[in-house]
Amino acid sequence: MSGRGSRIKGAVGERKTAHELNDRCPMEVKRGIGQTRAGDEVPDVDGIDCLWVEVKTQKRGNPRAALKQAQEASASHPGRIPIAVIRDTRKEPFMVMGWADFLDLWQEYWEVKNL
């Protein structure tokens, strides 16, 4: 795929991810508009204060590389948990995150649920 085609495919995946998040929890989640700037200024999907969302829309994405990119970009934004959404062609999207981050979320969920 050409550079332009790849960028268009990526933008479509980012918009779709934002739309799906908005469908579940109506809020101002949208595609990050800073895509032409440095990758650590704005996440691919913005509007969720606690998350740094990196979206990879490819024939077959590399989850570890995507998560590493999200982790590096979010390092200058304390309090944002890096996640990567992988949208492989013709497959169900999935998300990856660091185990320690998941454990923190799990603990918070458990504490809120058992109030």
pLDDT in tens, 51-89: 999 999 988 889 999 999 999 999 999 999 999 999 998
Specify the length of the chain in residues.
115
User: What are the extents of the domains in the chain?
Assistant: 3-113
Q: Which amino acid is at 50?
A: C
- The answer regarding whether domain 3-113 maps to CATH 3.40.1350 reads yes
Burial class (CB in 10 A: 0-12, 13-18, 19+), 97: middle
- Averaged confidence pLDDT in the chain: 88
* Per-residue pLDDT at 65: 96
How far apart are alpha carbons 72 and 2 in whole angstroms? Answer: 26
- pLDDT, greater one: 42 or 30: 42
**Percentage of the chain modeled with pLDDT above 90:** 57
